[in-house]
Amino acid sequence: MSPRDICHCCETSRGPAMTASKSLSSRVLPITMPGLARRSTTSASAAADHAKWFIDCSQALGATLIGGPIHSVHGHFSGAGPTIAERKRGIAFHRRAGEYAGKKGIRLALEALNRFECYFLTTVEGLVDYLDEVDHPAVSGMYDTFHANIEEADPIKAIKTIRRHMSHVHISENDRGIPGAGHIDWARTYRALRASKYDGWLTIEAFGRSLPALAAATRVWRDFFPSPESVYRQGIRNIRKGWAGAG
């Protein structure tokens, strides 16, 4: 697909401007990685090639930020936590990827996933420590309310922890359904985000079963909302009300 074709697809499928819905906005794109942390040179080379490819595609779309678990194969586990060698390979990779992305006018936003989806970066504190070591202006982090609800002892405090690296936010309910219909403490979340001076996108992230591969990867076995429209209509109301009330 040519850059012109990619841009056409983006223009014809663009979603509501209020949020940067995962693949519906040219501002923010979601990415997962092939074997970045694996030992083989083949995996490392594939990860580097993949990074250049998605950065080039993102530039063609007019994107300025690429966010997601740009550090792991989703759902792949080694049977142990990340090793020192894996961490070193990851840091070297992200410095190179950041250099390439920066030249294209793009910033990377790494996302910590919960421990049931990856093993490399699973907490906000771990992500911040990692980003401090990468130490590249084009490599930042993002905050996800769903993952924080699982991994963080204090999800609200975690916003303060990541704020100096935070360039994107996922608004995701505890069950991946409609924001505001679960038990995430949205009032405190929005207050913490406003207090952190965050001024970026608030992306509604909700998963259904329309894409079988994604549903299987995210363990979505039942419907969490009656329709996609209910997600973005109620979700946007949640964001607007919460953000205004936090001011």
For the chain, state the CA radius of gyration: 17
User: Which of 117, 152, 173, 205 is flagged as catalytic?
Assistant: 205
User: Which of 111, 117, 152, 173 is flagged as catalytic?
Assistant: 111
Those residues with Cβ within 8 angstroms of residue 146's Cβ, 6 or more apart along the chain or in another chain: 114, 170, 172, 173, 174, 176, 205
173 in active site: no
Q: What are the DSSP calls for 59-97, one per residue?
A: HHHT-SEEEE-TTS-TT---SS---HHHHHHHHHHHHHH
205 in active site: yes
Residue 22 CB: number of other CB atoms within 10 A?
Answer: 18
Instruction: Point out the residues that are catalytic.
Output: 111, 205
